[in-house]
Amino acid sequence: MSTAHHVLQVGPLMPSLTRRLADDYAARQLPADPDDRAGFLAEHGAEFTAAVTSGGVGVDAGLMQALPNLGAIVNFGVGYDTTDVEAAHARGIGVSNTPDVLTDCVADTAVGLLIDTLRRFSAADRYVRAGRWPVDGMYPLTRDVSGSAVGIVGLGRIGTAIALRLKAFGCTISYHNRHRVPDSPYPYFPSAAELAAAVDVLVIAAAGGDASRGLVSAEVLDALGPQGYLINIARGSVVDQDALVTALTEGRLAGAGLDVFAEEPHVPEELFGLDNVVLLPHVGSATVETRAAMEDLTVRNLDSFLRTGQLVTPV
């Protein structure tokens, strides 16, 4: 495999992947403490040719400068918005991610979150556990999922997989994308606000990064309106989180299902007491099978780069 110390792990990863990197590639971990990190990079930065990281941490331009011989950034996850891809490409550094292997899993999460949010199953579960059913009677009526008008922001691999699943529920699908998708069977809306005004449920499946930051703005939320629901399994940065919290606490949205947040793992406490909001701790791809497939693809990218200089799934 690789020569010792050529691989750098940046940030925490799955324990099994961390073990593989250490055992098979003699990878070293970047210290978390800023003072220790500075000394480590000054002494060892030039040794590393590949860095392995995750979508939650990434490699910024400053770290790239401290790694002058870096040739590849291998990202565990489909999202890579925390890595400065433009700076990497300018320095001739390849970047990879793990597409496709998590598409179905994240799409399943989106549909499950949508159903939970509209039908309030999690809230109904809490109602039973609190002993309220015998005291307060039947749980209040909720909203149908089947037949809903669903708008998808970001009709890529995951967005398309979500649409396929929701078609089986008899939902009507439309979408907004940076560009119209050729041969898509779904109606296209040129803006997120126009899409939001036309649907019951807005599902966010857009890639993160500066291009989509704040795309779901206060204007979009107002267009979705007090009968509309927001589902986000993309990135917290895509939604104006302050505007979302305000809309939910003021009753200007019917509800929200959120797997991602602006500053994870911190979640706005104003949402904790709302039964029309479902909160998940970024578990969209968190199954044994999917994470194993992501790990394998991460290692394939790393191994390919170290052997041939080429990445399997470059971005």
**Residues designated as active site:** 235, 264, 282
**Which residues, 6+ apart, have CB-to-CB distance to 134 below 8 Å?**
none
CB 73 within 8 A of CB 98: no
DSSP 159-177: HHHHHHHHHTTT-EEEEE-
Q: How far apart are CA 225 and CA 34, in angstroms?
A: 45
Q: How far apart are CA 168 and CA 247, in angstroms?
A: 30
Q: Any idea how long the chain is?
A: 315
Q: Sheet holding 172-176: strands in order across?
A: 172-176, 149-153, 201-204, 229-232, 255-258, 277-279
263 strand-pairing partners: 266
CB 277 within 8 A of CB 258: yes
H or E stretch covering 62 = helix 61-65
Residue 218, phi-psi category: left (phi > 0), alpha (psi -120 to 50), beta (remainder): alpha
75 strand-pairing partners: 53
Structure tokens at 46: 């030039």
Cβ-in-10-Å burial (0-12, 13-18, 19+) of 284 comes to buried
Half-sphere exposure of 207 (CA within 13 A, CB side): 18
What letters, b where the CB count within 10 A reaches 16 and e where it falls short, cover 34-72? eeeeeebbeeebebbbbbbbbbebbbeeebbebbeebbb
